């Protein structure tokens, strides 16, 4: 049986320049999923809302909630961002996940529980999710891996459903992070991985296909 690969772009709405790169990759079908940081979306800017709705209106992809925890009020932050997502998109997110790893061990189980409650997939994090959760059961999420390392990991994986987590983006002089070089490289990686998938008979899917 052929393997299925989700190519996900994390951090939509972290930066307008990152958004530009992600939208370009989506239009080329070089990624199949993106995560939206609703905690950073202005509730008073109509242009912001229009840009977000374009994700579902124009592209046949999975759009999901990239939750940010700012302290240990996990349920409060999760529910607040989930409500805002539903208000903008008009439906549940296709997938739930956590941005950054600061509160992963103690916060992510709340996300996994909510995902199970509303029956949407969540990102696979080993012991932090239930066997009942919908997940790929493997994610390759290190943007510092080379293209060859990623390809080898996909081919050697024993799992049929794999998520590859990338962080594409152009250089943003106003928002410098520790992943500047990796974000630019991830644009090239995603395009090459689409070709790699076709050559190796790997199906490109999105998170909605896991239901």
Domains of the chain are 4-210 (3.20.20.370)
Q: Is the confidence at residue 46, as pLDDT, over 70?
A: no
CA distance 61 to 110: 25
Residue entry with tokens 């950073």: 40
pLDDT of residue 28: 87
pLDDT tens track for 181-207: 888 999 999 999 999 999 999 999 999
Give me the chain's average pLDDT, please: 90
53 half-sphere exposure, CB direction, 13 A CA radius: 9
CA distance 36 to 40: 9
Least confident of 10-14, 122-126, 142-146: 142-146
pLDDT of residue 72: 97
CA distance 34 to 53: 13
Beta strands per DSSP E along 31-80? 33-36, 62-67
The CA distances from residue 32 to 40, 86, 126, 176, 204, in Å, are 22, 21, 23, 26, 7
The closest alpha carbon to 125, from 143, 147, 145, 110, belongs to 110
pLDDT of residue 58: 67
The CA distances from residue 136 to 115, 197, 208, in Å, are 14, 17, 12
**Residues 6 or more apart whose Cβ sits within 8 Å of residue 109:** 128, 129
pLDDT of residue 43: 67
pLDDT of residue 38: 93
CA distance 169 to 61: 18
Q: What pTM value is reported for the model? A: 0.91
First to last CA, the chain: 18
């Amino acid at each position: 049986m052929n393997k299925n690969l989700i190519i996900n772009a994390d951090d939509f709405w972290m930066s307008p320049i990152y958004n530009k790169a992600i939208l370009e990759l989506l239009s080329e079908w070089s990624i199949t999923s993106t995560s939206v940081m609703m905690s950073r979306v202005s509730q008073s800017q109509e242009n912001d809302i229009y840009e977000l709705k374009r994700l579902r209106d124009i592209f046949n992809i999975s759009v999901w909630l990239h939750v940010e925890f700012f302290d240990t009020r996990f349920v409060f932050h999760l529910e607040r961002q989930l409500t805002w997502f539903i208000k903008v998109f008009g439906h549940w997110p296709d997938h739930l996940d956590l941005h950054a790893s600061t509160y992963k061990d103690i916060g992510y189980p709340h996300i996994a529980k909510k995902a199970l409650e509303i029956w949407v997939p969540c990102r696979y994090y080993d012991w932090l999710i239930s066997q009942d959760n919908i997940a790929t059961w493997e994610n390759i999420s290190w943007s510092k891996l080379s293209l060859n390392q990623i390809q080898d990991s996909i081919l050697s994986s024993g799992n049929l459903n794999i998520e590859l987590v990338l962080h594409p983006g152009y250089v943003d002089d106003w928002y410098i992070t520790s992943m500047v070089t990796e974000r630019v490289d991830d644009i090239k990686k995603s395009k090459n991985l689409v070709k790699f998938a076709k050559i190796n008979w790997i199906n490109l899917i999105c998170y909605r296909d896991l239901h």
